Structure 1
Amino acid sequence: MKSMLQLLHFAYHQAMSCLFPVAIFGTLALSGVVRLPFVHRYDAILIVLLAVQYLMYRSGLETRDELKVICVFHIIGLLLELYKVGMGSWAYPEPAYTKLFGVPLYSGFMYASVASYMCQVWRRLKMGMTGWPGPASAWLLGGAIYLNFFTHHFVPDYRWWLTALVVLVFRRTRIIYRVRNVTYRMPLTAAFFIVGFFIWLAENIATFFNAWKYPDQYQAWRLVSVSKISSWFLLVIISVIIVAQLKHVKASRHTKAD
């Protein structure tokens, strides 16, 4: 009975942490079936997601600091989208007024949803880290990962070398999270992979409803390449590094203030 209560409590907080990602992919799916008159689909998605963000903040489901992190990730994601679409990695085929160089502005929210989940679950499960490698190693690795998303079009793709570095750098890092009054631990790299896998599943749903298309999906929908899990794995690492460092900075400020 106790194990069941723990599981239900854990599932509840995971579900609440996924509110914004669910809102995004739910909107993508619904907008693929129900079309509003006089409004382009991508424009309608942006309006809905801005409204969801506003309601989450006003209702207290999201804090001001979490909103700031989401905005940072929206910019990071949008810059990556602009580059990738320009390079032909994927495309947004439908018209919209809120498109910039072929990229709808709502697309940044898909990256921001990862940060939203990380911030929410961190707060709800009272997460912490042990064995964190330190800011220098974390920032350098995160920067190299983000840069590789851009440079692999011109130089060799170093994602597997970077993955090996992640395993090496974070080999001693454990996530500490609390479910009711019980504390659990998990290797950080295992958490990276689990989150990356579920984002890949969500990506398949999004492409099925034509939120965007990869080149091999233009004629007919097909499963997104399993290799994309590694891309999401690395992207999740960037979000964890940023969130963890911001949490550390905030904690340090509170300690000095005390």
Structure 2
Amino acid sequence: MAKVKTYVRHLIVFGIQQALCCLFPVLVFASLALSHLFTGVLPRYDFMLLMCIIIQIALYFTKIETRDEVFVICVFHLLGLAMELFKVHFHSWSYPEAAHTKFFGVPLYSGFMYASVASYMCQAWRRLDLSIINWPNHVWARVVGGCIYINFFSNHFIHDARYLIGIFVVLLFRKANVLFRIQNSIYRIPVILSFMLIGFFIWLAENIATRLGAWQYAYQHKAWQLVNFQKLSSWAFLVIVSFIIVAELKMLKDKRETV
């Protein structure tokens, strides 16, 4: 019975910590939900850019996010914005509303949607005292991350290699585990399972985002529909790239601090 109570308590603590890790994306989604109330003052996409910047500044100056975490978030914003420009150009999705801060059809706030994934990962790493065992060779981890990111672009010109890359990911990370701390107890989860779980919850968040008009796929223009289940794999691969970048930066920093 004592063990059950401990597990329940840890589960509650874990849930609270996860909620705190999601603070940035939750605030972004809350801004999306409220953005239609300010259309008489600012177009929604401009309002969202302003709110994202304010949220980022507030999280930094309240020390909820560190300087290093803000740096990682900015990197993800630029990587996400580059992908947005490419995907919108090839009509993968669109931003149909008018705005002053649209660049080649892409509102500048869109990069913050990717940055929110980085924010979650950085927060989780610190709040749950994450560590990784059996991480693969750094060179191979970076290569597979690069291949996934390139495939997001190249699949418009050549065969989509996501499933071939997926096999390589499974082989490469099959032994890797994430360790996290809840109070004085250490738990572990396979890295591959964490990829899938985070990707699934991002897909759920994407359904909310498209419902709120953050962006639209071609099949959602006439009426909102559930986001295609194929996007689950897309988000899972985005999570893998994000995880590799954050993990490699964290391990590089730890190595420098121990030298």
TM-score bin, normalised by smaller chain: over 0.9
Deviations 1:141-191 (CA, angstroms, capped at 9, x unpaired): 000000000010110101111111111100000000010000011100100
Identity %: 51
Give the residue type in structure 2 aligned to 1:201: L
1:252 maps to which of 229, 252, 255: 255
* Alignment pair present for 1:22 and 2:12: no
* Alignment pair present for 1:213 and 2:216: yes
Per the alignment, residue 41 of structure 1 pairs with 44
Shift of 1:23: 1.1
| DSSP-derived class of the 1:175 partner | strand
Per the alignment, residue 198 of structure 1 pairs with 201
| DSSP-derived class of the 2:38 partner | coil
1:31-70 mapped onto 2 (5 Å cutoff): 31-32=35-36, 34-70=37-73
CA distance in 1, matches of 2:138, 2:25: 28
Per the alignment, residue 9 of structure 1 pairs with 13
CA distance in 2, matches of 1:175, 1:30: 36
**Conservation of the 8 A alpha-carbon contact between 1:73 and 1:112:** yes
Give the residue type in structure 1 aligned to 2:89: G
* Alignment pair present for 1:86 and 2:117: no
2:158 maps to which of 123, 145, 155: 155
Give the residue type in structure 2 aligned to 1:46: L
Q: How many residues align?
A: 255
2:138 maps to which of 135, 140, 160: 135
Give the residue type in structure 2 aligned to 1:144: C
What is the root-mean-square deviation in Å for CA atoms of aligned residues?
0.8
Structure 1 gap ranges (5+) = none
Q: TM-score, normalised by structure 1?
A: 0.97
1:103 maps to which of 96, 102, 106: 106
**Conservation of the 8 A alpha-carbon contact between 2:38 and 2:47:** no
| DSSP-derived class of the 2:157 partner | coil
Structure 2 gap ranges (5+) = none
Give the residue type in structure 2 aligned to 1:83: F
Deviations 1:15-46 (CA, angstroms, capped at 9, x unpaired): 000000111122112224x2342311100011
Q: TM-score, normalised by structure 2?
A: 0.97
**Conservation of the 8 A alpha-carbon contact between 1:42 and 1:96:** yes
CA distance in 2, matches of 1:212, 1:220: 13
Shift of 1:117: 0.4
Per the alignment, residue 174 of structure 1 pairs with 177
CA distance in 1, matches of 2:53, 2:39: 17
| DSSP-derived class of the 1:88 partner | coil
Deviations 1:177-233 (CA, angstroms, capped at 9, x unpaired): 010000011100100000000000010011111111101111111000011010000
CA distance in 1, matches of 2:189, 2:198: 13
CA distance in 2, matches of 1:211, 1:31: 10
Give the residue type in structure 1 aligned to 2:54: A
